Chain A
Amino acid sequence: MLRLRWRKLVNSIMLGLTGVCTLITVSALFLILGYLIYNGGKSLDWNFFTKLPVPAGETGGGMANAIVGTIQIVGIAALIGLPIGFMAGIYLSEFEDRMLAPLVRYTADLLNGVPSIIVGILAWTLVVVPMRHFSAIAGSIALSIMLIPIVTRQTEQFLREVPMSLREAALALGATKWKMIATVVVPAGSKGILTGMILGVARIAGETAPLLFTALNNQYWGGLNQPTSTMPYMVYFRAISPFDDWHRQAWAAGLVLIAIVLIANILARLVLARGISLPRT
């Protein structure tokens, strides 16, 4: 009897502990968000969005150039990465070859697991070294290399969820294969594919490591062919500086960055992808 009571005690203690573990892990998110909103909210002002950075030691200034830089670099990366990933995803789902498709699939997974700093090295050797200077386009290429495997795998998975009967119906009506894909399969999977794309772009928008030696940084407005400042880089650069006013700006930039990333995530997952189970990237 004593033994049974002991076992029941262990049961409730251990089950209680798993609840505590859940509480700790979930509260990490709220602590992070709360602290960021508290510090970032204090630091965020209109100048942040409209002014250029001021030299170290002076207070004030903003990050208008970094905001534009991020939009530019991520935008170009999306223009390069989304179509390639999308088409490669169609290949994996619709044109499966016995030899090549598993290889492409495995390679995409492998690329997904490559640390982002290594993608930075790749873009550096491919773009920065031949051009002999840092540039926004090098940053875009680095980010697009990260984006391609994500979009490839997500597109494939969502297309696979389209029922086979839809494909058969289209073919039975005499559609050619590409017509079937373009008018039946892709539209049927479009919601999921769009979700995957938004999540992919949100993911690369927050990446810093691939930009450290590709786009680098710029005190002023960048350009395609020039070093360009980005928000993630500014969070890093400002946070490790010794100046209080720069720390304030790091918090503000962090808040804006996380707002963009989380809003994209929540919108994509809750609104667009209702009822769709998302593959992990």
Chain B
Amino acid sequence: MATATAVQAQKRKTTIHASDRVARVVVLIFAATVLMIAVILVFELWNGSAGSRHKMGWSFLTSSNWNPVTEQFGALPFIYGTIVTSILALLISVPLSLGAAIFLSELAPAGISNPLTFLVELLAAIPSVIYGLLAIFTLVPLVRSYIGPFLKATLGFLPFFQGPSYGVGYLTAGMILAIMIFPFIISVSRESLLAVPREQREAALALGATKWESTWQVVVPYAKLGITGSVFLALARALGETMAVTMVIGNDPAIHTSLLAPGAAIAAVIANEFSEATGPVYPAALVELGLVLFCLTIVMNGMARLMIIATTRKGSKRA
């Protein structure tokens, strides 16, 4: 046994030319660059936030007092804003996107479904600053004059829809984010739905289910994991989205219950204040915000990937 492997190893050694070994080392160096970037990224975020971590400790995450002048840095309003806008975006986007994904996978023939999916995926190619530009000049006036007053008139008894409607704020940011995450939910959900075996549909229909019942009670539950994965993927995008949110959230570092009020988000405050941050602690506090955002998106992305891998392996693609 031992001699057999030794002979094999000997054979392999002679067949690998010296040039191949050089080629291998060369590409390995480039591949290592990818690893290096990640290591440096984590190191710099940790190292760069040291000043703030030492000064603020855990109160950085729990205090809502953000005052660069007195060097008090509490990140809670930003974490709150990021989470609220992202959840709002999901609330608006998930039903619409899931409906569209069902239509594109179950109802539309491939000749219609593929071009429409292509168009939806183009939404992902639009730079986020363009979304911000459109949001400033269309969504903000719309929310200020129509949507805000309407929500106050109908749902004003809830604490979420009270106070003046400025136009900029959590709601506007959530709405633009909702549009931005359409393509992520739709294309991944559609793929998960397409991966559901045809027999599942046929069995449901043969039992007398209507098309909708077969879709909603059999196909969608079967693809549940992939759909959830797509939602987490979209959530990760929404959490880290910078430009569009910065342009419409209002940048008020405070916590408001009303969704119509201006707020702030992690990425937005970094974008706004980083280039002007001076002193020993201020830039470090912004880097620490970056670290918090990094952790949030890594967790969401990791979960999304696991779920998507699990579903696309489970089923076979529909022809």
- Interface on A for B, CB 8 Å cutoff? 7-8, 10-11, 14-15, 17-22, 24-26, 28-29, 32, 35-36, 39, 83-84, 86-88, 90-92, 94-95, 100-101, 103-104, 107-111, 113-122, 124-126, 134, 145, 148-149, 152, 176-179, 181, 199, 202-203, 205-209, 212-213, 216, 232, 235-236, 239-240, 247, 250-251, 254, 257-258, 261-262, 265-266, 269, 280
Contacts and interface: CB of A to CB of B under 8 A. Distances in A.
A261 B40 contact: no
B60 interface: no
Contacts of B98: 21
Contacts of B34: 84, 88, 104, 107-108, 111, 148-149, 152
A267 B122 CA distance: 12
A121 B270 CA distance: 9
A50 B137 CA distance: 26
A119 to B, nearest CB: 8
Given A18-B107, A21-B97, A24-B96, A84 B125 contact: no
A114 B44 CA distance: 14
19 contacts: A10-B210, A18-B99, A21-B95, A24-B100, A25-B100, A26-B120, A29-B123, A87-B27, A91-B31, A95-B27, A104-B35, A110-B298, A113-B301, A116-B240, A120-B270, A121-B48, A125-B44, A125-B287, A239-B129
A254 B23 CA distance: 44
A120 B16 CA distance: 42
A7 to B, nearest CB: 5
A88 B37 CA distance: 13
Main secondary structure, interface of A, reads helix
B295 to A, nearest CB: 11
Contacts of A126: 40, 44
Interface of B: 16-17, 19-20, 22-24, 26-28, 30-35, 37-38, 40-41, 44-45, 48, 95-100, 102-104, 106-108, 116, 118-120, 122-123, 125-134, 136-138, 179, 182, 186-188, 210-213, 216, 236, 239-243, 246-247, 267, 270-271, 274-275, 286-287, 290, 293-294, 297-298, 301-302, 305
Contact of B26 (A87, A107, A113, A240): A87
A239 B27 contact: no
B274 A257 contact: no
B267 A177 contact: no
Contacts of B40: 122, 126
Given A25-B186, A116-B240, A177-B20, A254 B97 contact: no
B134 A8 contact: no
Contacts of A216: 275
Contacts, number: 262
Contacts of B243: 208-209, 232, 236
Contact of B99 (A22, A148, A209): A22
A261 B128 CA distance: 12
Given A152-B34, A177-B23, A21 B213 contact: no
Nearest to A121: B290
A212 B275 contact: yes
Q: Which 7 A-B pairs have the closest CB atoms?
A: A115-B240, A206-B127, A21-B99, A87-B30, A178-B23, A18-B103, A113-B301
Contacts of B20: 176-178
B187 A280 contact: yes
Which of A90, A122, A235 counts the most chain B CB atoms within 10 A? A122
B119 A88 contact: no
Contact of B298 (A24, A113, A202, A239): A113
Contact of A254 (B125, B133, B187): B133
A240 B33 contact: no
Which of B41, B116, B137, B213 counts the most chain A CB atoms within 10 A? B41
A18 B102 contact: yes
A211 B210 CA distance: 53
A91 B34 CA distance: 11
A131 to B, nearest CB: 14
B99 A95 contact: no
B82 to A, nearest CB: 10
A18 B100 CA distance: 5
Given A107-B38, A121-B274, 8 more contacts: A110-B38, A208-B127, A209-B242, A235-B129, A236-B243, A236-B247, A257-B127, A261-B125
B38 A111 contact: yes
A121 to B, nearest CB: 5
